[in-house]
Amino acid sequence: MTEEVVLQEKTQPQSRRFFIFFMVAAGIIALDQWTKWLVIRSIPLNTSWLPDSLEWLSPYARLLHIQNRGASFGMFQNGNLFFVILTILIVAGIVYYVSQMEHANLWMWVAAGLYLGGAVGNLIDRLVIGAVTDFVSVGTFYIFNIADASINVSVALLMILWFLDHRASQKAETAKTEGNP
């Protein structure tokens, strides 16, 4: 095999992974912005909505249109400029990390795409309207959006992948030491 063919084989899977990474991120950004647009258009600010047939669900879950000028759980209100700068740094860090990542597990790339999509989705809100539009209300606990959910799913997925990888490496190490007395 020529050097060019070997190089193509090594870079082909990584380009496919980058494609998946960016497509996941783009899909999350599009879904997040579309749902926020629907909420802004259909539900007045600081009001909730639930179909009449599901009114019994109101204490537990509903759509509640708010604008969050802080972080998760409404912490650090009115820190928009700080969060814009922080998010830009996080986005740059994710893109840099992924460009250096050689991990073969495709789910790592999906998790990174979920995180990037969520971060950019909320960044767009902060830049365009000065606050993040949140609308999914679960009890009195948390009001969130697609971008927030995407970030949380990404973190959970990364934790699961780390645990599985750690467990597999421990098993491999155990098998290696048991094989060599």
| CA torsion through residues 123, 124, 129, 131, sign | negative
Active site residue 32: no
* Intra-chain end-to-end CA distance of the chain, in Å: 40
pLDDT digits (tens, 9 = 90+) for 78-125: 778 888 999 999 999 999 988 888 767 889 999 999 999 999 999 999
DSSP 8-state class, residue 70: S
Active site residue 148: yes
Taking the C-alpha atoms of residue 53 and residue 94, their distance in angstroms, rounded to an integer, is 43
Name the strands in the sheet holding 142-144, side by side, starting at the edge strand that comes first in the sequence: 48-49, 61-68, 132-138, 142-144
Query: Catalytic one among 32, 52, 125, 148?
Result: 148
Rounded to the nearest 10°, the torsion over CA 107, 90, 148, 128 is -130
Query: Catalytic one among 32, 52, 125, 134?
Result: 134
Q: What is the pLDDT of residue 12?
A: 53
Is 10's pLDDT higher than 70? no
pLDDT digits (tens, 9 = 90+) for 16-58: 888 999 999 999 999 999 999 999 999 999 999 998 899 888 8
Q: What is the pLDDT of residue 170?
A: 81
Taking the C-alpha atoms of residue 173 and residue 19, their distance in angstroms, rounded to an integer, is 34
Give, in order, the Cα–Cα distances in Å from 136 to each of 7, 29, 52, 58, 133.
47, 17, 17, 12, 10
The structure's pTM equals: 0.82
Q: What is the pLDDT of residue 181?
A: 54
Taking the C-alpha atoms of residue 52 and residue 30, their distance in angstroms, rounded to an integer, is 29
